[in-house]
Structure 1
Amino acid sequence: MKKLLDELIEKNRHLTKKGKVADYIPALKKANSKDLGICIIDMKGNIYTSGEYKTKFTIQSISKTLSLMLAIMDNGVEKVFSKVGMEPTGDAFNSMYKLEMPDVYKPLNPMINAGAIVVTSLIKGESSEEKFERILNFFRKITCNNKLNLNEEVYLSEKETGNKNVAMAYLLKDMGILEGDVEEILDIYFKQCSIEVDCIDIANIGLFLANRGKILKTGEAITTDYIARIVKTLMVTCGMYDFSGEFAIRIGIPAKSGVSGGIMASVPHRMGIGIYGPSLDEKGNSVAGYEVLEDLSKKLNLSIF
C-alpha cells in the first residue's frame, strides 16, 4: 500500500500546477500550491501515508459532516431537516440565489454554506463559547487527536472577509429559518471551519464513518449507524459541491472537500482516506487530490456502486 501511495502522489503531483490556492480568504493564500499528501487508515488500524501528509491545514467545509452529526444528536433528524433539505443544488457551495426562489423555503442541503450555517445554529450550548467548545471536543474525539485546535489567523481572516456568508445568514434570519443571534452563529461557524487538521485527522473522520459511527481504537459508539449513514449519503450526493454527480460516477466513494485543499473520504467497512492538495479547480476541489483519489479507487476497486 505504501508503494502504491508513493506512486500515485508522484504521478499526480504535476497537476498541482493546473489549479490555484484559494485566495478569497487571505490567510489561505500562504499554502504551498505544490503540496500533495495522503493518509489511509484501514479497519485493522493500519496507517499508510505519503507526500506532505503532516502539513497542517484548516478543515473548512469538511467540518460540515461533523457539525451535522452533532446537530442531529442534539435535536433529532426531524428537527434538523425541517430547517435544511437533503437535495443536491447543482450550484456553487457559496451560492445563495435559490434562497430567493418562491418554491424554496430552506437551504437545499447541509453541505452548502447556507445549509451549514443553519446546522451550526442548531448545536446546543448556553453560550457561543460553550457551543464551540462542544464542537471542538467532538472533533477531537472523532479524530483521536486531543491537540486539535483553532487556527486563530485563519479564523480572523474568514471573519473579516466572509461577507457573503454574513449576507446569507441575515437572509436566512429574515426567512425565519435561522434562530438566535446572527453574529454569534457566524462566529461559531467561522471558528468551526478554522480548526486545524492534517491528513491523518481527516482519515480518522473517514474511518469513523466507515465504521458506522464508532471509534475503531476503543469500539465506542459516538453516534448511531443511522446518523453516520445520513452523513455518508449526503457526502455522495452533495459532498463535492456541483461536481458531486461526476465524482460519484468516476470515483464512487462518499467524500467531502474543503477550500483549504482537504478531501475526506470514507469507504464503508473498509477505510478512511485523508488527502491534502491546496491547489484547487474552479469548483473549489483539490485538483491533484481528486486525481489521486480516482486512481486509488480504480486500483483498489473502492467504488460503493
Structure 2
Amino acid sequence: MVERLRQLQSEQIYEWVGRVPLDGTPLQRLPKVAADAFAFEVLTHDYALTVGDGALSFPLMSVVKPFLLLYALTHWDQQVWEWVGQRPSEYPYNSVLQLSLDQGWPRNPMINSGAIALASRLSQAGGVAAFQEWLNQCAGTALTVDPVVLAAVYRHPNWHNRSLSYYLAEAGSITDAMAALDSYNQICCLQGTIHDVARLGLLLACPHPAIRDRHRHIVNTLMLMCGLYEDSPRYALDIGLPMKSGVSGLVLAVVPQQGAIACYSPPLDASGNSVLGLHLLQCISRHLSLSPLS
C-alpha cells in the first residue's frame, strides 16, 4: 500500500482540487485567512509529496485531540477511561446538550468536552509545555503556540467551551474549569506546517519506540468512530480511514501501517470540517483503495 501512496502526483491532486467549489466558510473567530489557502502532503517513512504552500503555518485546533489522547494513554494508560468515554457523539463537537444528556460525562476524547477533561490532567504531567515538547520529540516536529491565534481565542471567547468547562466542573469530571479551558486553548493553538501535521500522523500510522501499539490502535479506532464528530459514520463508510478535522481547516488521515495524509483548506462545512480536505480524501481513498475494508 506504500506503493499506492507513491502513485499520487501533484497534477492529479490539483485536478481533484479544481472540481470543488470553495463554498464553505472559514471560522470567523480566528485571524482572517485567505479562503483559497491550500497545503497538502502525503508522507511515509521514505516518501513525501507536498502540494500547495508547504511553508504556510496554521493552528492544529481539534487535530491536536488524538495526540492529547495518545499522551494521556502514555502517562496513565487505562485510567484515562475513568475521565472520558469511548462512544460516538450524536450532536456537534461543542454540544452542551450532549454533555447534559450524559450527566456531565464526556462521551469521547475527540469532542470538546472530552478534550477539555483530558487537558485538565496536563498539569499532572508537566503542563502544556511538556506535552508540546513530547510531541515535537516523538514526531520530529517544530510545533509552537501561535500567540496571535491564542490572543484571538481569548479576545473572542468560545462560550460553548466555557459552558462545557463549568458543566464538567459541576459534575465533578474536572476540578478547575478555567484552568482546564486555558490548557485546552493553548494546545489547540499549537501551530505547524503541513509537513509537521503529516509527521504527527506517522506517529499513529507506524510503530514508534515511545508509543505502545495498543495505544495507537485505540487512538486510530476512536478517530474512525468519532474524529469527524456527527459526520464520522458517513465518512467511515465513504473514506474508511481514521481521520481528525479541525476548525482551522485542517484534516489529518492515517493510513495504518503505511503513512499519513494531511490537508489544509479553511472553508468549512456545516459540521466544521474542511470541504476541500474531505473531498480530496474521498478521491484519494477511492482511487488508491486505501480503506482497510475495501
TM range (shorter): over 0.9
1:96 match: 96
- Alpha-carbon separation, structure 2, partners of 1:142 and 1:257: 21
1:133 matched to 2:138: no
Match of 2:36 in 1: 34
Question: Structure 1 regions of 5+ residues with no counterpart?
Answer: 215-220
The answer (yes or no) to whether the contact 1:89–1:108 under 8 Å persists in 2 is yes
- Which of 239, 249, 257 does residue 269 from structure 1 map onto? 257
Identity rate of aligned residues, in percent?
Answer: 29
Give the letter aligned to residue 266 of structure 1.
Answer: V
Gaps of 5+ in 2: 1-5
* In structure 2, C-alpha distance between the alignment counterparts of 1:277 and 1:6, rounded to whole Å: 18
Is contact 1:2–1:50 with CA below 8 Å preserved after alignment? Answer: no
Distance 1:208 1:6 in 2: 28
Counterpart of 2:223, as a letter, is M
Distance 2:99 2:177 in 1: 17
Q: Which moved more, 1:242-251 or 1:2-11?
A: 2-11
Distance 1:16 1:63, change over 3 A: farther
1:197 is the counterpart of 2:196: no
Letter of the 1:178 counterpart? I
Superposed displacement of residue 133, structure 1:
0.7
Contact between 2:122 and 2:183, CA under 8 Å: does it hold in 1? no
1:37-186 correspondence runs (5 A): 37-43=39-45, 45-77=46-78, 79-101=79-101, 104-125=103-124, 130-145=126-141, 147-160=142-155, 161-179=157-175, 181-186=176-181
What is the deviation of 1:124?
4.2
User: 1:5, CA displacement in angstroms?
Assistant: 3.5
Q: 1:104, 1:175 → 2: CA distance?
A: 7
How many residue pairs get aligned? The number is: 287
Shift in Å, 1:69: 1.1
1:40-79: CA deviation from partner (whole Å, max 9, x where unpaired)? 1114x211111223321100001011111111222222x2
Question: Cα distance 1:262–1:237, how it changes in 2: closer, same or farther (>3 A)?
Answer: same
* Structure 1 contact 2–49 (Cα < 8 Å) conserved: no
* 4+ residue segments displaced more than 3 Å: none
Q: 1:296 to 1:167 in 2, by over 3 A?
A: same
Change (3 A) 1:152 1:91: same
Secondary structure of the 1:17 match is coil
Give a deviation string over 1:262-281, Cα, whole Å, max 9, x none.
11111011111111111111
Q: TM-score, normalised by structure 1?
A: 0.89
Residues 227-273 of structure 1, C-alpha deviation per residue, up to 9 Å, x if partnerless?
11110000000001111111111111111010001111110111111
Q: CA deviation at 1:125?
A: 3.7
What's the secondary structure of 2:109's corresponding residue?
coil
